[in-house]
Structure 1
C-alpha cells in the first residue's frame, strides 16, 4: 500500500485520534494515514511528519469517509495495525493490489470479531469446505490473515473467520458483480444437501471425488450463466445411467429440480448424465448417515 504524498495545506486533515489522521492527498482523494503518535498534539493546520506514517489507504467515497471516522476513532490502534499488516501479507501472497474498499471492510468486520472473541460470544457458522476447493489461493490468504491478526493481538480467532475473510477477498479479486461468489456458494451448498439427503449419507468433504464433484457443479452453474450447457446427440449413455444407477439418477433429477427453481433454467440430459456419474462416485465416499 502506497504511502501518502505530502499534504500540508491548511484544513486538509482530520485528526481522528493519536494514531489516525485523514488527509486529502495531491490527487484529491481522502486518505487514511496511520502511525503510532501520528496525530498526537497535531493541529489541523500543522504539517504532518510523514516519517511517522506506517500504513495508509484511500477512501472510495464520502460514505466510506463517514464509516472510517466512526470506526477508527474508537478501534484500538494495535487492532488497526494488525489488520493492515495482514492485508499487506495477503497482497503479497495473491500478487495483486487488493484495492481501496478491502481495508475498511476488513477493519469493520474484525472490530466486531475481536470484541466478540474477548467477550466470549460465539456465533454458529456453517462450514464451507467448498471454498478451499473453488478458491484455494484466496482461502489460503484468508487463513494467513486470520492467523496473523490473532497472533498480533494475542487472541485465537475462530476458524470460521477464514470463511468470512475469503468472501471479502473474493469480492475484491474476482471480476464479478458483488455477491456473485456468495450466490454460487449458496447454490453449491444447497446441491450438496440435496445429494446428501438423496443418498442418506454425509459426504466426505476431504475426498478427491467430493472435490471433483464441487468443481463439476461450479462449471455447470457457470455454463448455465453463459448459456453453454453440455449437449449430446447420443442418448444411449443417458439411458444406461438411468437404468444402471437408479438411486444416483434420482438424486441428479432432484438436483435438476433445484437448479430449475433457483435459476429458471432446465438442465440438458447431458448435464443430468454427468451429475449422475459424479453422484455415483460419491456413494462410496460417505462418512455415515446423513443428519437430515
Structure 2
C-alpha cells in the first residue's frame, strides 16, 4: 500500500487493487512521510472506504480538522452499534456521526448546551439505538474525558437510525414526530392506553417501519384478501375507524397514506390493545 496523499500526521489517502480511494488512519501514520512511500501497516488502525465521491470529499475535509480521538471514538461507536444491533450501517454514518461528535464536544466545551426536543420519543421508538447512544457517551468520556448530557445519547441514536434506514436526519426527525402524533390519536381513544398494562413501545414497533415506508417509499400494489378485509372492517369497526382517522390526519399533514392492507394490519394490532380492557 502506497501513500497517495497525506491528510495529516495520522491519516493518509491510498488506493486499493481496484484503484478506489481509501482513507487510512493510524497514530503517526503520515508523520514525516512523503507521497509515494509505503504505508507502515503496523500503525494502521482503521481503513475507510466511502463509495460516494461527495461524501468521501467531505469526510477528508472533516478529518483534516478533527483531533484523532474524535475520529477513533466515532469508529468505536459505529463498530459497537453494528455488533449490538446486528445490522450493517450505511457508510455515510462515518461522516455524519464523526461530524456530530466533533460539533457536540466543541459545543459542550464552549458552554453551549442544547436539549433534544424529541428525547422521550427517541427513547420510546428506538430503544436499541438509544442504548447504543448511552454506550457512546461512555466511550466518548473514556476517550476524551468529557461527559456529554444524556440528550446526546438520543442525538447519536438518530444518526444510527439514519444509517439503518439510509435516510437523512430531517427524515428521521419527521418520522419520529409523525410516530408521536399517530400514537397520541390512538392513546386518546383507547382506554387501555391509560392502564398499567399498556406498553406503548409494542405499538410503536408496529408503526415504525410503516411510517418510514410512507415517508420514503411508494406503497406496494397488492390485491390483498378482501374476505379478510371485510371481516376486520365488520368485527373491528371501532378500531378500523380509528385507523382511518389516523390515516386522514397523515394525509392532511404529511401528504402520505397507508394502503388498505397496512390499515387492516394496524387495525388488528390496535384491537389486541383494546381487548386488554
Shorter-chain TM-score range: 0.7 to 0.9
- Picking from 231, 234, 254, the partner of 1:233 is 231
Aligned partner of 2:200 in structure 1 is: 210
Note the alpha carbon deviations across 1:77-131, whole angstroms, 9 max, x for none.
Answer: 1111111122222223234443532212211111111111111112232235454
Distance 1:70 1:32 in 2: 12
Give the match's secondary structure for 2:24: strand
Distance 1:274 1:73 in 2: 53
Residue 69 in structure 1 maps to residue 57 in structure 2: no
Alpha-carbon spacing, 1:100–1:275, altered in 2? closer, same or farther (3 Å): closer
Distance 1:272 1:97 in 2: 28
Note the alpha carbon deviations across 1:246-289, whole angstroms, 9 max, x for none.
Answer: xxx9976753431332345478796796687578689x9xxxxx
Note the alpha carbon deviations across 1:33-89, whole angstroms, 9 max, x for none.
Answer: 111111111111222211111122112232223212321111011111111122222
Structure 1 residue 160: Cα displacement = 2.6
- Picking from 33, 43, 68, the partner of 1:42 is 33
Structure 1 residue 20: Cα displacement = 1.1
CA RMSD of aligned residues (A): 3.8
Note the alpha carbon deviations across 1:153-183, whole angstroms, 9 max, x for none.
Answer: 1111222333333232233334x66676555
Which is further off, 108-117 or 84-93?
Answer: 84-93
Higher helix share: 2
Residue 127 in structure 1 maps to residue 118 in structure 2: yes
Distance 2:45 2:26 in 1: 5
Aligned partner of 1:3 in structure 2 is: none
Report the count of equivalent residues.
262
Give the match's secondary structure for 2:5: strand
Aligned partner of 2:74 in structure 1 is: 83
Distance 1:275 1:93 in 2: 28
Choose 1 or 2 for highest CA Rg: 1
Distance 2:163 2:266 in 1: 33
Alpha-carbon spacing, 1:184–1:227, altered in 2? closer, same or farther (3 Å): farther
- TM-score w.r.t. the length of structure 1 is 0.71
Distance 1:124 1:69 in 2: 29
Please tell me whether the aligned partners of residues 20 and 32 of structure 1 are also in contact (alpha carbons under 8 angstroms).
yes
Distance 2:19 2:270 in 1: 57
Residue 160 in structure 1 maps to residue 151 in structure 2: yes
Give the match's secondary structure for 1:232: helix
Structure 1 residue 21: Cα displacement = 0.9
Specify every segment of 5 or more residues in structure 2 that has no aligned partner in the other structure, as ranges: none
Distance 2:161 2:178 in 1: 17
Aligned partner of 1:245 in structure 2 is: none
- Picking from 157, 161, 166, the partner of 1:170 is 161
Distance 2:269 2:164 in 1: 29
Distance 1:271 1:100 in 2: 33
Distance 2:258 2:87 in 1: 38
Which is further off, 13-22 or 206-215?
Answer: 206-215
Specify every segment of 5 or more residues in structure 1 that has no aligned partner in the other structure, as ranges: 1-5, 243-248, 285-292
- TM-score w.r.t. the length of structure 2 is 0.74
